[in-house]
Amino acid sequence: MLRIITIITMLVAFAVASDSEKIYRKCAGCHGINGEKKALGRSGAISDMNVSELADVMIGYKKGEVNKYAMGALMKAQMVNISEDEIKSLAEYISDRQF
């Protein structure tokens, strides 16, 4: 029984990471594979941000409360189909990556 629980836990963890990676692939076009780019030549590099900064700014964009670098409308459109839980997982994924 313990073996089954361990396997299920590992599969769930893999699924979450895979979802975050899949979502990030859409971000990489502007932010770079390693988060090193200034999106559209305007923003700061997201690789320099910590988990809470990333989550806060993405949730702010989603809610239409943030307009950093005049990117509010563009980023709101990018966040519209991403839940707050997915945003938090994505922030962890970006922060945990070894850039």
The CATH code of the domain at 2-96 is: 1.10.760.10
Q: How far apart are CA 30 and CA 11, in angstroms?
A: 30
Residue 81: CB atoms within 10 Å:
9
Q: How far apart are CA 32 and CA 38, in angstroms?
A: 8
Q: At what angle do helices 51-63 and 72-79 cross, to 10 degrees?
A: 100
What amino acid occupies position 41?
G
pTM of the model: 0.78
Q: What is the pLDDT along the chain (99 residues), one digit of tens a residue?
A: 767 776 665 556 555 557 999 999 999 999 999 999 999 999 999 999 999 999 999 999 999 999 999 999 999 999 999 999 999 999 999 998 765
The ranges assigned to domains in the chain are 2-96
Residue 86: CB atoms within 10 Å:
16
